[in-house]
Structure 1
């Protein structure tokens, strides 16, 4: 087990002309409407960070980034501190990243978890959760044994470049994992799809191109990719978006694939722990259902204050039926919520 470091703020550094977006999850739908599976933050802020050093104390005094004096000296060097052998860097500690942090600490007592964000807006929250936040861990000379990239591609012009920075912050000893989307699988006829289904060719779709180029960077560094189906929880996901709208201009027979946020986090942690190299995994619950079937379950559940009315679309694309049995066998993982219907029963 690696040494648990204590951190004392000693200086401030600032970086200019650097824009990255880190948020909550990954997913893609038809370009006809905003993606209900993917609700990134859109706030911006100036870039501040805190330089830290290690000490022998077991406590971790911290200072809020918003309390830093504007008169503090500018330093261009990155943070310097001792990294333990099970410490984890999360790039994009949003909903999924925070669940990964909780699960990682459960399985690695005494480790430290670091979070890189696009703004300082939620740094106080992260500190309260035991995550050490910064705007530029991936620009530091210090490297981490475990790195997971959970930030989506919205609001950055160089997604693969951001992923490369994260890869460069991995020391190669533990695991580097990139959370992608199941969108790159080349299937849109509601047909079967698994880990071996070919990907959409580069150049066909700008949306999948962004993900595939980022995935290629990860594989270039011998890291791993986790392609996730639609992420959801009680108050977040496609069902919530459609419930709010009531009437949706999308076809009802489009097949959806889902995975609960908690299950996505537990699968990510299971992959990280195995120290895999250069593999692509698939995260889903193996219970595909149509949009209509999902909203029928919502209406029948009695767990929501609103009722969904109807889908009215006829011409938008169909989906795919994902199966990740290969991933489950290789990783040794099963979901807590084996289907959306079972999840609703637990609410």
Structure 2
């Protein structure tokens, strides 16, 4: 699908030329990103502001940044119309918004000072490519027609169109995980021991810290990223069975048992992400090369 309008050319300054960065959505991904920005040599003595919908988690967020004078957390309502930022990263998921594309537009228009000053980065999902049947996808692969896309995918696709209209960059992320979060945790700890889909279904993964690292790479690369789309994964796709097999190697899940899997995948057996171009353009190298390597390190 094409963007709504053509992209106007700007210099697309990198993080080193910015004085301020806002991270909209400060959950696991946003918190990791804020930490990485604040520890980045290109961003010493500059300000980072985390922006949330409510104050509910502010105390928890701030506990991660004790004695950090250039970090602040505010709500959207408290800052909208009062301050704009050189660069903005939107990493809040669709689930919290009735009008997700509208929320992305509001953040871009009310919080970002524009592409002549910095960058707008939006975290999307590789899931918008559809189920797949073992095929390889990259940044240029077509997206499903609206009649075939899921409601969640359509919200993401429409949000991506807004981002490109505003000269921002889209990062389509693989399935995110930490030791305690992700498909493995649900299948091994929270489900009834039965996994929908076959054991051979292909899954592409990315650690939350690496997802944040790709956002930082988008902010710091000298390459022009405006209006462009990138596909981010650890470049080591696995399977549902492989995810569980790897997780069982860790101390956290050592006492769990392998679940049962379905006989087939009605929607397709998955896709293989090829993000080599994205990695090169962003200068991004994942810290965790594979899900299996991460679990091996947590024995």
- Relative to the length of structure 2, the TM-score reads 0.83
Alignment check: 8 A CA contact 1:247 1:311 kept? yes
In structure 1, what is the Cα distance between the partners aligned to 2:284 and 2:261?
A: 35
Residue 125 (str. 1) matches residue 60 (str. 2): yes
User: Residue 244 of structure 2 corresponds to which residue in structure 1?
Assistant: 295
Change (3 A) 1:270 1:137: farther
Residue 242 (str. 1) matches residue 242 (str. 2): no
Deviation at 1:89, TM superposition (A): 0.9
Deviation at 1:302, TM superposition (A): 5.1
Larger Cα-atom Rg? 1
Change (3 A) 1:157 1:138: farther
Which whole-Å deviations, capped at 9, do the CAs of 1:76-106 have from their partners, x for residues lacking one?
xxxxxxxx93311111110000000001111
Deviation at 1:177, TM superposition (A): 0.3
User: Residue 64 of structure 1 corresponds to which residue in structure 2?
Assistant: none
Alignment check: 8 A CA contact 1:175 1:273 kept? no
Deviation at 1:186, TM superposition (A): 4.8
In structure 2, what is the Cα distance between the partners aligned to 1:112 and 1:167?
A: 18
Structure 1, unaligned runs of 5 or more: 1-83
Structure 2, unaligned runs of 5 or more: 1-16, 66-70
User: Residue 341 of structure 1 corresponds to which residue in structure 2?
Assistant: 292
Q: Higher RCO, 1 or 2 (CA under 8 Å, sep at least 6)?
A: 2
2:200 aligns with one of 236, 248, 253: 253
Change (3 A) 1:92 1:196: same
In structure 2, what is the Cα distance between the partners aligned to 1:163 and 1:137?
A: 17
Alignment check: 8 A CA contact 1:103 1:266 kept? yes
In structure 1, what is the Cα distance between the partners aligned to 2:216 and 2:144?
A: 27
Structure with the higher helix share, 1 or 2: 2
Of the structure 1 ranges 95-104 and 107-116, higher mean CA displacement relative to structure 2 is found in 107-116
The count of corresponding residues between Structure 1 and Structure 2 is 264
Deviation at 1:313, TM superposition (A): 4.7
User: Residue 227 of structure 2 corresponds to which residue in structure 1?
Assistant: 278
Change (3 A) 1:202 1:122: same
Alignment of 1:105-184 (within 5 A): 105-107=38-40, 108-128=43-63, 129=65, 130-136=71-77, 139-168=80-109, 169-172=111-114, 173-184=117-128
